[in-house]
Amino acid sequence: MHIEQAHKTIFRRPESLAETVTHYCPGCTHGIIHRLVAESLDELGLRERAVGVAPVGCSVLIYNYFNCDFLEAPHGRAPALATGFKRIRPDMIVFTYQGDGDLASIGMGEIVHAANRGEKITVVFVNNAIYGMTGGQMAPTTLAGQITSTCPHGRDTSVTGYPVRMSELLATLVTPGYIERVSVHSPMHIIRAKKAVRRAFEYQTSGTCFSLVEVLSTCPTNWGLTPTEATKWLEKNMFSYYPLGCFKQPDSAGVR
């Protein structure tokens, strides 16, 4: 073997990720999802014209972990900020990174209308079925029967309704072009998730459509499980209610 080949770098920190230690809990998948976004920005050469919009919630400090410009939005309003920015700077790449409390609860209005207007933005929607940062309260995505600090006897759907399936809901709209649900609880699923995230940015880069990737994610701390148990819990409990797959994509004729 040649020396040159032996020293070839085959895996490194994406340039779009800052060299910073994150505050995320052990076993939390935000780190993986951050990496998928960063790799996509790197591969498509978008870092220098990207602006991210941070949510409120566990990933509120995301701007410390990325090596691109960022705005910090009020609770749930990231799609509105992204809209204001992108309308004025259509040449820039604008993405929001939002959790389920942020996007599906307080920000339900903003995401539905941004999607319906077909804003040429990319939304990374992280669904872990619980409010993480505030300490494990019920989210709109909390599963029926799931125990949280504000539904200590399990989510009672006769009182709180059923968990909201955001991808399916948004896919009923005519305008949004690309909506896919993925998971990052296993290496195989991470590879698939990466493809979806990259595709979402490609649709924005080509000016094709609004794109959203829903990522099923773990919250070992607030689920009260070890990281390994959490990945198993996700597969066992979330897949049946939140099926993976592409709900919407621009067809070959570009008609949505």
| Burial (CB count <10 Å: 0-12, 13-18, 19+), residue 207 | exposed
Of the candidate residues 80, 123, 143, 171, the single one contacting another protein (CB under 8 A)? 80
- Under rule CB under 8 A, residue 74 binds another protein: yes
CA 242/CA 233 separation, integer angstroms: 13
CB 84 within 8 A of CB 74: no
Cβ proximity to another protein, 47 vs 185, nearer residue: 47
- Under rule CB under 8 A, residue 48 binds another protein: yes
CB 178 within 8 A of CB 212: yes
- Under rule CB under 8 A, residue 77 binds another protein: yes
- Under rule CB under 8 A, residue 131 binds another protein: no
Q: Which of the stretches 46-54, 97-105, 187-195, 243-251 binds another protein when contact is defined by CB under 8 A?
A: 46-54
Of the candidate residues 13, 89, 149, 224, the single one contacting another protein (CB under 8 A)? 89
Q: Which of the stretches 45-53, 156-164, 192-200, 244-252 binds another protein when contact is defined by CB under 8 A?
A: 45-53
- Under rule CB under 8 A, residue 66 binds another protein: yes
In the beta sheet, which residues pair with residue 175?
none
Cβ proximity to another protein, 17 vs 216, nearer residue: 17
In DSSP notation, 21-50 reads: ---PPTT-SHHHHHHHHHHHHHHTT-GGGE
Q: Which of the stretches 109-117, 210-218, 237-245, 246-254 binds another protein when contact is defined by CB under 8 A?
A: 109-117
Residue 73 sits at φ, ψ, to 5 deg, of -95, 155
CA 95/CA 180 separation, integer angstroms: 16
**Residues making contact with another protein (CB under 8 A):** 18, 47-51, 53-54, 60-61, 63, 66-74, 77, 80-89, 92, 109-110, 113
